[in-house]
Structure 1
């Protein structure tokens, strides 16, 4: 049986410093308690006798439940463009499309 493992506030602070995190005293205390609770739970698990338990890689017996990839037709352009968002500066019913493509705001500024 293993000895009881715990982490100290100083160890939590060192880990936080290595991760470049700033922890105030309150957070440091909370994390110390939480990690020690996790370690205590793991130590309880270590005491279980699992000699007769068969190892498993997944709790469910599912094997390759994906559907077959089949090519299908696409939606008609007019139905797709009917879902274009409404324009902000045009008439209320005006969609952000030129009839062939969606119109999107310019995100890259150029000198032209």
Structure 2
């Protein structure tokens, strides 16, 4: 009977050892997964910070370009004003040319004798 009890004790000890090994293996697997998750979360946080910095940089660049474009390019109202000024200048030029041609006509008429037209 002592043999039976010894074997039972060995079996129980083996069961405890196997359970302990199983639990240790399980715990080590969980610990590895927790460590990997923390690493991934840290990397994701770093990528998030980098993305935010890139967004801030892009917003600054876009704002700078907007200021540059406002200074360098013509807007619709400026273009309308420019066209209006040029139209007025062309009208003035047209009137000046009419005046010159009228004066030239008078000058030529005064120089050419009246009977020389035919």
Band of TM-score, shorter chain: under 0.3
Query: Which has the higher relative contact order, 1 or 2, with Cα contacts under 8 A spaced 6 or more apart?
Result: 1
Query: Over alpha carbons, which structure has the higher Rg?
Result: 2
